Each structure stands twice: as C-alpha cells, then as structure tokens.
Structure 1
Amino acid sequence: MPDWPFEPPRKPMEARVRERFPEPPGWAYEPKWDGFRALAWSAGPDGEPRLDSRNERPLLRYFPELREALDALPVGAVVDAEIVVVTDDVTNFDALQQRVHPAESRIHRLSVETPAQLVAFDLLAIGGEDLRAQPFEARRSHLEALLAGLDAPWSLTPSTHDLATAEEWHTRFEAAGCDGIVAKRLDGAYVEGKREMLKIKHRRTIDAVVGGYRVHKEGDRIGSLLLGMYDAEGRMHFVGHISGFADEERV
C-alpha cells in the first residue's frame, strides 16, 4: 500500500433498500451488479497491488488474472468496483462464488475457464489525492477519465441522470444478471461503511425447495441456499440461489 498523505479508505460505502426510485434532479442511477464488492488499490512501495473485499479480506489470490488490471492503475489510486464473472453474456454469481477456493490448482484453472472482470463505479483516490469529500459528480468525472485509459478486464458502469432511462435499465438489465439499480446523490460525498446510497432491487417470487447450500466465502457457515423446482415427472431442477443473510442468520 502506498504511503498515503491521509487515512486510506478501508470499507466501501453501502446502500439501503428503497421500493421506489428517488425523483430527479440531483440523482445518478447505475446498474447494481451481482458480484463481489471490492476496493482495488494500485501497487504500493512493495510493488504489490491490493483487491480487498468489503470486509477487508484480500481477494487477489483468488483472481490472479486481475493482477495485470491492478498493475495498470496509476500511483495512489483506489477504485470502488465489482468483481463479476460473465458467462453467455450474463453475470454468473454461482461461477463467481466457485472462484473462492483454497486449492491453487483450482484457482488457476478457473482463472482461465471463468475469468473475472472489474466493473468500476467510483473513485476514492487518484495520485494520492483523497477524493472522498468531493461530490459524486466530480468523482465520476475523474473515474471516466481514468477508465478511458484502461482496457479489459476493466469496464465503466453505465450512469444516467434520467429517471426514465433508469427505469428502463431496471427492466432490461435484469436479463443480463443485474440485481437492480443504485441511486447516488450527485452532490454526495463518499462515506465509507455508511448506507448513503439507495438500491432499488428486483422483486421475484417463486415457490421453490431448498435442495442444498454453499459455504460462505469467509467462514464455514451458510453462504447461500440452493433452490430447486420439481418438474411434471417429479424431478428437481436447480433454479437459483438466495444469499445476503445477516451474520446472526447463518448457521
């Protein structure tokens, strides 16, 4: 980590759920990606970049194919991003979860079979300058300038100030695996660890059977429940998963 002239950010800013879109003006609307939230750090004096989870867990060892993308960041940069895996043009959270595995051989095999990407949506620092107190509109301009010089696996999340466009995205991007829309105040500072953003999530209801579970990536408790539905012949088929449990809900 570089020698920062300020206390560097540790935790990403969070969002709280809201049923309706906030009315313009004064808001930016962006897709909510279905992946792992991460802070991406440029290389420090030791030459090592960082990719840390929302709980400050190092993730780079699980995604070695992203090392070159982090090396491309300018000195003193911290990017708020989402790690995603895309298969058949759809974000695949199940494939992403499988990337977090202790076996080095599996890590390297999956880095080729299901490579990850980084979707950037905020910039916390650049050139060692702390941008968190700046309004989001200014941080977004800095982020756009940064991403203009970066190639895949980096990409810049779409953003709009138009409510009708955001509502159309909310419907259209669901098929691509997005989990809803995030709304950010254009004049809002970046407050790490606080629920300063709004998220308007998709609401989907089915009657399903719990057929199994996956272990949480940060422990030995339940991370997600695997859901199935029976067909006309009584055979169960996997239809998806549910996650997002609070710590006290995991067993």
Structure 2
Amino acid sequence: MSDLPFPLQPMLAKAVSEVPGADSVPGGLLYEPKWDGFRAVIHVEDGKCEIGSRGSKTLTRYFPELAEALLEHLPDRCVVDGEIVVRRGEPGAERLDWEALSQRIHPADSRVRMLASQTPASFIAFDLLGIDDHNLLEVPFAERRKALEGVAETFSEPVHLSQVTDDVELARRWLVEFEGAGLDGVVAKPLAAAYEPNKRLMLKVKHKRTADAVVLGYRVHKSGQGVGSLLLGMYDDGGELRNVGGASAFSDKRRLELVDELEPDVMRDESGEIVRGETDRSRFASAKDVSYVRLHPRRVVEVRYDQMEGDRFRHTVQFERWRPDREPRYCTFEQLEIPVAYDLSRVLA
C-alpha cells in the first residue's frame, strides 16, 4: 500500500430529497444505513493502527480501546473506511448515543482512558480502500464491497460490517424504521464508481435538513448578558468564507454557557481588546445594533435549516450540536441540498 496516502480524506455524499431509484445512476446503486457518528479511515500496518478523521486529523488517542480491537479484527496492511459510533441501551432496545461519542474527544489522557471504559466505541466498516499491496481506489465499489465482505468474516463486536441492499423499497423502509435506533438516514452508492477522496459522488437522504457551518462570531443578547446569536459562514468555490446567516433561540442559561465555551476562539488585538465587526444593516431595521464579537473561524456547528435563499439561510437556523470531528474548510456550499428547478407557471396553473 505504499502508493496509498494516509491520512486520507474520505469520499463524501451529496444531499438529495428522497431515496433515488437504483436505475437513476449508470451501473446501479447499493444502499446502506447512514450512521450518525464520526467518519473514520482506518490504517493498519506493521502491527499499528491509526484512525484518521474526515478532516485528516488523527483520532487514535481518543479511542484506544477501538484501536486495539481493530488490530485484532482487521488484517495487517489494510485501509478501511467507516464510522465510529457509541451505543447505549439494553439489548433489544439499543440506539446510537451522539452525546457520549462527542465527549470522547478530550485533551486529558486520564479522561480518555475513563471514557474508553465507560462508553466504549464501535466501528462500522463500509468500504475497503487498500489491502496488502493492492490500492483499491480505482476499483469499482461493487468489487471493493465484495472484498470487504471477505475481510469482514473475522469481524465481531465492536467491529461490524454495515449492511447493504440493492432493493430501493427496502432502503426506503430503512429510512423510516432505522430512525428509531438513532441512525441518520440512507446513503446510496454508485456500484460502478471509483473511490474519489473529498468528492461528493455518493447520495444521502437524511431525516432532517442540516448543514455544517463555521462560527464566525456572536452577537451579545439584547439584555446585555450572554450570546444572542451565532454568526455562521461557509466556504465558496474560491475558498472565501462567506456569511450565510445566524443561529439563535438559546435559553438564558445556554446564552451564558456559550460565552465561556467560545472564549478561547475570541479574536483580540495587540492590546488584548476584543475585536468586533459589523454585519450589513437591514433597510427594515436600520437602527439595529449590527456589531458582533469576532471569533477565529475554527469551530464547526451543525444547524437545522428549512431552505436557502441565494447563498444565505432563508430564516434563522437552529443550533443542533457542535461537530468537533469536522474541519472548518469542509463547510462548503456543496454540502447543501439544492432543490430541483421547477417552472412557477406550472404551480400557478
């Protein structure tokens, strides 16, 4: 695998509004559940396991128990794409636990060891990118999946093989039924496609419309206490970080908590004073204070939104959760679901 780079940016998916038919893509589609966890590319070689994040960061130190299990269940000299999850609940009533998973990213080694014992992680494998001296990136997904199934014959808890189907009706049932287990939707993968890192060639259908955005700053609440709203940004095709709107509707308690959470990211000048900026004024509320506290653009948040208007959110969006596993530079407009064009005259008719 000398010609297979690591860390490796995983191939991504583009949002669509419904599960597409298998014949909608040349060569057909294979469907699998969309797991709500941390995307991870696993590299095993010479008795060592490295876990790379979606943004090519190393996650190995945060999941020592999983690295040990992967060494046991994966063959030496392989690269596997998949998802790290944390499960909770009694047998027969388990579901994914995002909060427990997100807490696993912690700087203190002692806490990492404690959480590895209290909330151990599992790995769901869904693609094989390399094995022995074979680089499989150019191999069609149908063949990569078959090779992965061969590797998975040695899998057991906490390493699993993601199930798949070529039955679109079953995939549509999964979209509804698997939500109860905490899954995020369904992914459709072109069977004939090569693996292209950082390209959105797969298709995903989620239960809700969400997006990852970079936190650019915050406005102080009108009461003068706490965060009133977060200013959000995304990168355009030219690499420019553009303001796309804001997230608000925080409780009094949460507003105060956010001030402390965001303090490490606050921009300050040479004298230590907080750097402030201003957004454009609305012609409908020209007297409104548009100043905000500027933040270093390094924190990613997942938000819920209804629709876009141009390159901005149509309405104020809702805070969903922090994404410590995501890199700001991957918060692009490309991730958004773009509605299919429709002739207004047909609606009016």
Instruction: Give SS of 2:154's match.
Output: coil
Counterpart residue identity of residue 38, structure 2:
F
Aligned residues: 228
Q: State the structure with bigger RCO (CA 8 A, min sep 6), 1 or 2.
A: 1
Counterpart residue identity of residue 64, structure 2:
P
Which residue, 116, 120, 136 being the options, matches 2:141?
Answer: 136
Partner of 2:58: 58
Quickly say closer, same or farther: Cα 1:226–1:161, change in 2 above 3 A. closer
Q: Give the distance between the partners of 2:193 and 2:57, measured in 1 at CA.
A: 27
Q: Within 5 Å, which residues of 2 pair with 1:220-235?
A: 222-224=299-301
1:148 Cα offset (Å): 1.1
Partner of 2:49: 49
1:183 Cα offset (Å): 0.4
1:204 Cα offset (Å): 7.2
Counterpart residue identity of residue 53, structure 2:
S
Counterpart residue identity of residue 210, structure 1:
F
For normalisation by structure 2, the TM-score amounts to 0.60
Partner of 1:232: none
CA displacement 1:15-34 (0-9 Å, x = unmatched)? 11011222123111111100
Q: Give the distance between the partners of 1:215 and 1:145, measured in 2 at CA.
A: 45
Counterpart residue identity of residue 17, structure 1:
A
Counterpart residue identity of residue 70, structure 1:
L
CA displacement 1:109-136 (0-9 Å, x = unmatched)? 1111110000001000111211111111
Structure with max Cα Rg? 2
CA displacement 1:138-173 (0-9 Å, x = unmatched)? 111111111111221100111000011000000000
Which residue, 250, 258, 262 being the options, matches 1:210?
Answer: 250
Q: Give the distance between the partners of 2:77 and 2:36, measured in 1 at CA.
A: 27
Partner of 1:81: 82
The 8 Å contact of residues 41 and 70 in structure 1, kept in 2 or not, is answered as no
The 8 Å contact of residues 14 and 204 in structure 2, kept in 1 or not, is answered as yes
Counterpart residue identity of residue 53, structure 1:
S
Counterpart residue identity of residue 24, structure 1:
A
CA displacement 1:31-60 (0-9 Å, x = unmatched)? 11000001011134xx42100101111111
Partner of 1:236: none
Partner of 1:16: 14
1:108 Cα offset (Å): 0.8
The 8 Å contact of residues 62 and 106 in structure 2, kept in 1 or not, is answered as yes
Counterpart residue identity of residue 42, structure 2:
A
The 8 Å contact of residues 49 and 67 in structure 2, kept in 1 or not, is answered as yes
Q: Give the distance between the partners of 2:165 and 2:114, measured in 1 at CA.
A: 38
State the identity as a percent: 40
CA displacement 1:173-214 (0-9 Å, x = unmatched)? 001111110000111111111001000111279xx9434469
Gaps of 5+ in 1: 228-239
The 8 Å contact of residues 75 and 128 in structure 1, kept in 2 or not, is answered as no
Q: Give the distance between the partners of 1:215 and 1:189, measured in 2 at CA.
A: 41
RMSD after superposition = 2.7
Q: Give the distance between the partners of 1:55 and 1:204, measured in 2 at CA.
A: 22
Gaps of 5+ in 2: 211-247, 266-295, 305-318, 332-349
1:75 Cα offset (Å): 2.3
Counterpart residue identity of residue 31, structure 2:
Y
